[in-house]
Structures are given as structure tokens and as C-alpha cells.
Amino acid sequence: GQNIDQPTEMTATEGAIVQINCTYQTSGFNGLFWYQQHAGEAPTFLSYNVLDGLEEKGRFSSFLSRSKGYSYLLLKELQMKDSASYLCAVMDSNYQLIWGAGTKLIIKP
């Protein structure tokens, strides 16, 4: 079966750095996505990785290792507005998105 695992909840301090991990087992691989979802709102696209390595976009970076079935989202210089759920999703061989359950990130002052 297809499976994506991420921690349920994480807590970090404003100004710090946090890494949210995602491991996956899917039927094929056509890219991995990270989305941010604030409470009561729709998910918004953050990043995409299809090749191994690090993709950096401002305060957010995403890393992928296809051989390990592993990705992480790195958030630097945390702000209170970063409090949200972060969803990992993998596009499988049928170009269908398989979603993780999401990681709720709580930022404390």
C-alpha cells in the first residue's frame, strides 16, 4: 500500500529553526510537494522536489532523498504566522497525489 508519515505535532520558538520530516512509500514517484494550511483555510503550495537535494525559497527549504523515501521541510527565522499545518504529498506513477496527515506546527514566543 501507499503510505506517507509525518509527525503529528511539533512545537518551536519564534526566531528559531524547525525541520519537519516526511517519509513515504508509494507506487512510483513523480515529485513531492509541501503545502501549508492555516486553520480553517485551504492548503497553499510551498515547494516541490523531484530530484535529490535541497530547494531553497526564502525562509523555507525542502530536501529530498529518493533512495531513502525521505523529505524534510526546513523553516528558518520562525514567525508567529508560521503556526499552521504542513502537509507532505507525493505524486505517484499515476500522477495522483498521496497526502500525509499533516504536521501541526505550534510557534511559541
Note the residues at the interface with other proteins (CB under 8 A).
Answer: 31, 33, 40-45, 48, 87, 89, 91, 95-97, 99-102
Closest contact distance (angstroms) between CB of 97 and other proteins is 7
How many residues are recorded in the chain?
109
Closest contact distance (angstroms) between CB of 48 and other proteins is 4
Q: Determine the Cα–Cα distance for residues 48 and 99; give it in Å rounded to an integer.
A: 14
Closest contact distance (angstroms) between CB of 12 and other proteins is 20
Q: Determine the Cα–Cα distance for residues 109 and 107; give it in Å rounded to an integer.
A: 7
Q: Determine the Cα–Cα distance for residues 4 and 23; give it in Å rounded to an integer.
A: 6
Nearer residue to other proteins within complex by CB, 13 or 25: 25
Tell me the three cell numbers of residue 67: 533512495
Nearer residue to other proteins within complex by CB, 48 or 60: 48
